[in-house]
Amino acid sequence: MSKVLIIGAGGVGRVTAVKCAQHPEVFSDIMLASRTVSKCDDIAADVKRKTGRDIRTAQVDAENVPQLVELIRSFGPELVIHVALPYQDLTIMDACLETGVHYLDTANYEPKEEAKFEYSWQWAYQDRFKEAGITAILGCGFDPGVTSIFTARAAKHHFDEIHYLDIVDCNGGDHGKAFATNFNPEINIREITQNGKYWENGEWVETKPFEFRKELNYPGIGSRSSYLLYHEELESLVKNFPTIKRARFWMTFGDEYLTHLRVIQNIGMASIEPVMYQGMEIVPLNFLKAVLPDPGSLGDNYSGETSIGCRIRGIKDGKEKTYYIWNNCSHQAAFDETGAQGVSYTTGVPAMTGAMMLLQGKWGGAGVFNVEEFNPDPFLDVLGKHGLEWHELTGVDLEL
């Protein structure tokens, strides 16, 4: 049994705390920390109602290394689960190095001043984590996370060589709001409005936002407009599976969502460049985040489900093979169990499961690792039991 410190009190933090509390045999003592301790206290009260367990709470500025170090040393966790903002990856990794504590996150580092995805900042910690004898697990949400583990399963059990990988992410749900994002609005809008790219024949091919669209069918949902974006797991997957000739990421968006997004961009509200307003410097996107619905509030009456998976083509025993592996998650079922909608659930459950893998000794090693570098089998053996059942088919039309 182990102590674990969870940093971040949004929807994903809520799910992670509830799911960790469900497993006292692994997580003997849980602390939830955030800049706003009242959010932690609200989640702790909900965890008590749902699981009967008490968890501790604390206030911390995750961008302040001395504060993080003080909190980690006072609580003494074996692992820090970082489910706050990707801006804070490096400061929390620094604190883990200083205290000799393992680290896990769900999204790669992103600088505040630039909408940019790149693992280079975190991969640069490899030697320091190795010398310290501790583990850093990067990208243990769903995408990145489970999609990378799905790819590792495909490589281990279904293919001699993976040639074509398409990660497909569909939110077929309806929250009833005119416009809302399913996770932090600031991060979400930064991600989808930047230029995209995909991997083909050993190089990155850049695309304009929403330049490429396909109608794809998703199990239990049907046909949805899917757009080519860049997502960070592509960078690590083409590195760790070098036989991949092409790797792409697709996400669904409705016409109404895209109309709102175009207006937001056209009037400058998606900008991350500071402007002066009544003698104060503000970032338009930060202001927009303040007036949009809190993603944590979307769970109640959120109907429908998500469908996220990998569609893969490659070679097995000298013959071409196709393979599709995916999960569907009900927003309502996620809310009933944890008080958060499905997008938060599909990130928090893998974070808890990855933490369990580390604490049980099924994953580990000194250094910095992306999740596909570990054995996928023990993780996928329990993922369904934790609420995210997965399915696989071979010999299917991948539509891509």
Write down which residue in 105, 138, 171 finishes a domain: 138
Write down which residue in 121, 138, 155 finishes a domain: 138
* 222, two tokens: 């049907």
Contact predicate 44/55, CB 8 Å = yes
Say if 299 falls within a structural domain: yes
Q: Which residues contact 216 (CB under 8 A, 6 or more apart)?
A: 168, 170, 223, 224, 226, 250, 252, 399, 400
Task: Verify that 133 and 199 share a domain, yes or no.
Answer: no
Q: Which residues contact 378 (CB under 8 A, 6 or more apart)?
A: 357, 362, 363
- For every residue of 284-337, DSSP letters joined together read HHHHHHHHSPPGGG--TT-BSEEEEEEEEEEEETTEEEEEEEEEEEEHHHHHHH
What CA–CA distance (Å, rounded) separates 79 from 140? 14
Segments forming the whole domain that contains residue 33: 2-138
Task: Verify that 154 and 119 share a domain, yes or no.
Answer: no
What CA–CA distance (Å, rounded) separates 196 from 107? 17
Say if 157 falls within a structural domain: yes
Say if 29 falls within a structural domain: yes
Task: Verify that 150 and 122 share a domain, yes or no.
Answer: no
Task: Verify that 204 and 118 share a domain, yes or no.
Answer: no
> Which pLDDT value is given to residue 217?
98
- For every residue of 116-181, DSSP letters joined together read ---SHHHHTTHHHHHHHT-EEEE--BTTTBHHHHHHHHHHHHT-SEEEEEEEEEEE--B---SS--
Return per-residue pLDDT of the chain as tens, 400 residues.
699 999 999 999 999 999 999 999 999 999 999 999 999 999 999 999 999 999 999 999 999 999 999 999 999 999 999 999 998 999 999 999 999 999 999 999 988 777 677 899 999 999 999 999 999 999 999 999 999 999 999 999 999 999 999 999 999 877 766 666 655 666 677 777 788 899 999 999 999 988 999 999 999 999 999 999 999 999 999 999 999 999 999 999 877 777 777 777 777 777 778 888 888 888 877 787 777 777 666 666 788 999 999 999 999 999 999 999 999 999 999 999 999 999 999 999 999 999 999 999 999 999 999 999 999 999 999 999 999 999 999 999 999 9
The CATH number of residue 311's host domain is 3.30.360.10
Instruction: Kindly state the DSSP code that residue 371 receives in the 8-state scheme.
Output: G
> Which pLDDT value is given to residue 342?
94
* 152, two tokens: 């590792």
Q: Which residues is 276 bridged to in the sheet?
A: 281
> Which pLDDT value is given to residue 296?
64
Task: Verify that 198 and 302 share a domain, yes or no.
Answer: yes
> Which pLDDT value is given to residue 284?
78
Task: Verify that 184 and 313 share a domain, yes or no.
Answer: yes
The pTM of the whole model exceeds 0.85: yes
Task: Verify that 310 and 169 share a domain, yes or no.
Answer: yes
> Which pLDDT value is given to residue 1?
65
Instruction: Kindly state the DSSP code that residue 24 receives in the 8-state scheme.
Output: T
Q: How many domains does the chain have?
A: 2
Say if 73 falls within a structural domain: yes
> Which pLDDT value is given to residue 106?
97
The CATH number of residue 118's host domain is 3.40.50.720
> Which pLDDT value is given to residue 186?
67
Task: Verify that 176 and 320 share a domain, yes or no.
Answer: yes
SS3 of residue 374 by DSSP: coil
> Which pLDDT value is given to residue 253?
87
Say if 375 falls within a structural domain: no
Task: Verify that 121 and 163 share a domain, yes or no.
Answer: no
Q: Which residues is 239 bridged to in the sheet?
A: none
Task: Verify that 152 and 110 share a domain, yes or no.
Answer: no
> Which pLDDT value is given to residue 23?
98
Question: CA distances (Å), 281 to each of 110, 277, 289, 290, in order?
Answer: 22, 6, 16, 15
Say if 374 falls within a structural domain: no
Task: Verify that 95 and 218 share a domain, yes or no.
Answer: no
Task: Verify that 82 and 153 share a domain, yes or no.
Answer: no
Say if 347 falls within a structural domain: no
Say if 321 falls within a structural domain: yes
> Which pLDDT value is given to residue 150?
98
Write down which residue in 97, 117, 138 finishes a domain: 138
